[in-house]
Amino acid sequence: MIRQIRYSNGGMAFVRSSRPGAVPPTPGDLLPTTVPDMIAATQLGGETTMCNLFISQDPATYDAETRPVRLHGHVTSIRLESAFWDILEEIAGTEGMSVARFVSVLHDEILAARGEMANFASFLRVTCLHYLRNTELHARQLAAKRGAAQGAVPSDKNGAVEENSAVVA
């Protein structure tokens, strides 16, 4: 979930969090909006930082979490950074299932499609990045899948309606 936070000083931040009790950034955590402010903000102890965007992250987002899951009938655990678990929760929610169920289904589908999976945790991280880069495509595919389940007009894998298709009542 993405929340927009506006501060009384006119600043604004966008925060991705589904965690209850997540602490919003303070005005000092916001990215500067003017060139002089940007130059000043990149100074850290006399040294220039690469980008305030990266160093201003909430450390809780990159803390690792280990969660138990059942994969192909076996109970195991997966260790990912909290930010990735948040994104997996978002994806699973759009798919209408729990994270545990989503991860299990994804594991079974990747095994069926490609065989053995060498590093499933890495696959999940890249899945999160792929989702963030392709949210509109995911939404179209999900809508097409739900529409097909309800007898709607067929669509291709990108969610576009196929030509010469018709709905027969």
Please tell me the pTM assigned to this model: 0.61
Which tokens hold the place of 167? 């709905």
Amino acid at 82: S
Residue 4 CA to residue 157 CA, distance in Å, equals 33
Which tokens hold the place of 17? 């969090």
Quick one: CATH architecture of 63-149? Answer: Orthogonal Bundle (1.10)
pLDDT tens digits for 61-120? 999 999 999 998 899 999 999 999 999 999 999 999 999 999 999 999 999 999 988 899
Contact 31, 53 (CB under 8 A): yes
| Three-state SS at 20 | coil
Q: Spell out the domain ranges in the chain.
A: 2-58, 63-149
> Given the DSSP bridges, would you call strands 74-81 and 64-71 parallel, antiparallel or unpaired?
antiparallel
